[in-house]
């Protein structure tokens, strides 16, 4: 896989903020159509990695290639339009409807510009995405009246409306109860099947939130890569224990991941 054919290539990336080193020597290559999860403890550097994948954070040293373009040698706004971003903390006005929220994915703002009107083709695409994401009949529902789960699905529709080649999901299960979380994970799994060429990177703290269709994983700790590669080779007891610096047993059941402390398991067994 060359830099031109990969969706993301981080090569020996280091990032410093003032006197603090956030990332050191991070290298990872995400192929088109691959679905990655980034895991690690608080402060590990996950958000910084995602910012680089979204062409919003520049490295102190090292290189970043996104969708075949070298950061620093490409017009950033054009590149960012090819990257969908799902962030549950996005500041959206409560009065916006679901349809309007999805339309903001075309304008690249958190609100609709004055005197902006979507074309008929754009309206049809938004309607199809709202239906695809399980929000059929809710296009006129107000953002302020939605559940967290409905907001999550609307944000995914927003990220897809510009037909991106890469999707970034920044802790999309934040604030969701168990049922809403599972519905959102099912939605993400469905997208992996319906959008075969779409590459994705999902950041989470919890193995239980890793979708079944995840193909690869990146484990980081203290700004360094602990392991990166095929998900079944990375999400092991040994690697997860090393990343979180705590004895954690990792299991996989029916395609989903479970994490338990070894002490808790030993107590149950006794």
Is residue 1 assigned to a domain? no
On whether both 51 and 149 belong to a single domain, the answer is: no
On whether both 102 and 208 belong to a single domain, the answer is: no
Q: What is the pLDDT of residue 122?
A: 93
Share of the chain above pLDDT 90, in %: 81
Q: What is the pLDDT of residue 265?
A: 47
pLDDT tens digits, one per residue of 78-129: 898 899 999 999 999 999 999 999 999 988 888 888 888 889 999 999 999 9
Mean pLDDT value of segment 199-226: 96
Tokens of 8: 């993301």
d(C-alpha 210, C-alpha 224), whole Å: 21
On whether both 63 and 121 belong to a single domain, the answer is: no
Host domain of residue 130: 91-163
Mean pLDDT value of segment 123-138: 93
User: For 207-217, b where at least 16 C-beta lie within 10 A, e where not — what string?
Assistant: bebbbebbbbb
User: For 84-118, b where at least 16 C-beta lie within 10 A, e where not — what string?
Assistant: bbbbbeeebeeebbbbbbbbbbbeeeebbeeeeeb
What pTM was estimated for this model as a whole?
A: 0.91
Q: What is the pLDDT of residue 101?
A: 96
Please count the structural domains in the chain.
2
pLDDT tens digits, one per residue of 41-55: 999 999 999 999 999
For residue 34, pLDDT over 90 is answered with: yes
């Amino acid at each position: 896989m060359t830099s031109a054919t990969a969706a993301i290539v981080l090569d020996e990336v280091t990032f410093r903020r003032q006197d603090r080193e956030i990332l050191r020597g991070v290298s990872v290559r995400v192929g088109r159509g691959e679905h990655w999860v980034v895991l690690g403890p608080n402060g590990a550097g996950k958000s910084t990695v995602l910012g680089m994948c979204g062409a919003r954070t520049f490295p102190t040293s090292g290189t970043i290639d996104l969708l075949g373009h070298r950061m620093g040698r490409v017009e950033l706004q054009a590149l960012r339009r090819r990257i969908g971003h799902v962030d549950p903390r996005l500041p959206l006005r409560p009065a916006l409807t679901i349809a309007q929220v999805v339309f903001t994915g075309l304008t690249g703002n958190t609100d609709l510009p004055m005197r902006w009107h979507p074309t008929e083709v754009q309206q049809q695409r938004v309607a199809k995405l709202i239906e695809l994401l399980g929000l059929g009949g809710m296009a006129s529902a107000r953002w302020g009246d939605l559940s967290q789960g409905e907001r999550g699905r609307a944000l995914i529709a927003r990220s897809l409306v510009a037909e991106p080649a890469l999707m970034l999901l920044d802790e999309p299960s934040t604030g969701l109860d168990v049922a809403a979380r599972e519905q959102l994970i099912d939605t993400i799994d469905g997208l992996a099947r319906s959008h075969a060429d779409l590459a994705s990177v999902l950041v989470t703290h919890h193995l239980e939130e890793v979708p079944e269709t995840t193909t690869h994983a990146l484990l980081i700790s203290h700004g360094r890569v602990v392991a990166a590669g095929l998900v079944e080779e990375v999400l092991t007891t040994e690697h997860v224990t090393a990343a979180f610096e705590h004895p954690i047993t990792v299991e996989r059941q029916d395609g989903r991941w479970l994490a338990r402390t070894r002490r808790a398991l030993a107590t149950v067994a006794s």
